[in-house]
Amino acid sequence: MTDTPQRPTETPTRPRITWDEIARSSALLTFLAILAALVISAILIVAADPQVRGSVSYFFERPGDTLGAAWSAVSGAYTSLFRGAIFDYEASGARTIRPITETMVAATPLLFAALGLGIGFRAGLFNIGAQGQVLMGGAMAAWIGFALELPIVLHVIVALLGAAVVGGLWAAIAGVLKARTGANEVIVTIMLNWIATWLITWLLTTSILARAPNRPISPEVDPSARLPLMLGSQFRLHWGFVLALLAAVGVWWLMERSTIGFKFRAVGANMDAARTAGINVNLVFVMVMVTAGLLAGLGGAAQILGADHTLRASSAGSIGFDAITVALLGRNRPAGIVGASVLFGALRAGSPLMQTASQTPIDIVLVIQAVIVLFIAAPPLVRTMFHLPGRPGSRRAVEVAS
């Protein structure tokens, strides 16, 4: 008789929703989530519109007034969003296409950072640290850009490489801590975001990053270090966007065609099986974080060297956090992330015109983004709303039967 109590070896595992699972839901769901977000935002636009509120008081006498005002509020907001983000048919000459170039400028850093995050999510790492990595990379790019004197071409390349290295190293901290000690990457990367923010804020008060005392802003980067403009000085569109698209192709190759990506995906899909097959899981953690940080660092560099040209503590904006949404919306796949980053770039580029042309609060864009995230993260909710069937193959009938 054995005295050792045994645990059943095949305990049924609880259903656990991972980010990658969420991201694997169908493209239809993504589309419906965006649609639902636009509809819900339309309701808020109506509610916020002063003319609608004015006409509601006599709604029962003349309902047409309210409905007409509601229609003009929503259509005004969305057409001005379109004009600000895609194509301004009311402008003349080259300025008609300026909005789409602005969308691309805004999409560039998001695309870089989201590509890195997507790799992490597919490898099972919930890297929340793109914000810090973007900022650190941007700061390095700015410093190389204004502090070093290098020949043209070489200068921008060195600045980009420096940003990639610093972003990668910053992310590696979380990777190494997880590999060595098992520290949860979510918490570590969130904390690293704060450390990066305050480190840069402090450096901007010193002579390292700032020239004038009491002015927390770096000098402009040398023209030789800037990402060259693509369409001349009329537009801000720079070659960073093309680099980001190339990076998307590179990430696709890395994940689908290389041995490194195979390891990343294996670890993300089943860490135990990967370990049993001889894959060094801890090394993969570090490599995934470095790759993600490298791309986020490039995103920061693109923002500084391409668009801003100076560094502030707020240079990263909310790029790192928006990139999480972009990666999810793009279902962690490079092609999807390209689409999602352009969508978010458009929302960002179009919102100022929406505010000025139709008096719709700029915050409505944040609502649209937030509602998209909400629906993407809760596929059953969208399925219920649109009466879609459950995901086929989510549970094997054979398993139920046995």
Please give the residue ranges that form the binding site for other proteins (CB under 8 A): 1-11, 257-260, 262-263, 265-266, 269-270, 272-280, 393, 396-398, 400-402
The least CB distance from residue 92 to other proteins, in Å, is 50
Based on CB atoms, which residue is closest to other proteins, 99 or 261? 261
Distance CA 217, CA 215 (A): 6
Phi and psi of 252, rounded to 5°? Answer: -60, -50
Q: Which residues contact 87 (CB under 8 A, 6 or more apart)?
A: 96, 97, 99, 100
Name which of 34, 111, 119 is nearest 374 in CA terms.
34
Phi and psi of 54, rounded to 5°? Answer: -65, -35
The least CB distance from residue 367 to other proteins, in Å, is 34
* Element containing residue 382 per DSSP (H, E): helix 379-385
Based on CB atoms, which residue is closest to other proteins, 226 or 331? 331
Number of neighbours of residue 209 by Cβ within 10 angstroms: 23
SS3 229: strand
The least CB distance from residue 112 to other proteins, in Å, is 21
The least CB distance from residue 338 to other proteins, in Å, is 23
Based on CB atoms, which residue is closest to other proteins, 232 or 278? 278
Based on CB atoms, which residue is closest to other proteins, 57 or 394? 394
The least CB distance from residue 7 to other proteins, in Å, is 8
The least CB distance from residue 332 to other proteins, in Å, is 13
Q: Residue with structure tokens 């860490």?
A: 271
The least CB distance from residue 12 to other proteins, in Å, is 8
The least CB distance from residue 9 to other proteins, in Å, is 6
Distance CA 402, CA 57 (A): 63
Distance CA 20, CA 126 (A): 10
Crossing angle of helices 281-302/154-181, nearest 10°?
Answer: 150
Based on CB atoms, which residue is closest to other proteins, 125 or 274? 274
Q: Which residues contact 363 (CB under 8 A, 6 or more apart)?
A: none
Residue 123: Cβ-neighbour burial (10 angstroms; 0-12, 13-18, 19+): buried
Beta bridge partner(s), residue 357: none
Number of neighbours of residue 226 by Cβ within 10 angstroms: 22
The least CB distance from residue 121 to other proteins, in Å, is 14
The least CB distance from residue 27 to other proteins, in Å, is 18
For CA atoms 97, 99, 101, 104, the dihedral sign is negative
Distance CA 193, CA 353 (A): 31
Q: Residue with structure tokens 């790192």?
A: 320
Based on CB atoms, which residue is closest to other proteins, 76 or 250? 250
Based on CB atoms, which residue is closest to other proteins, 25 or 66? 25
Based on CB atoms, which residue is closest to other proteins, 118 or 299? 118
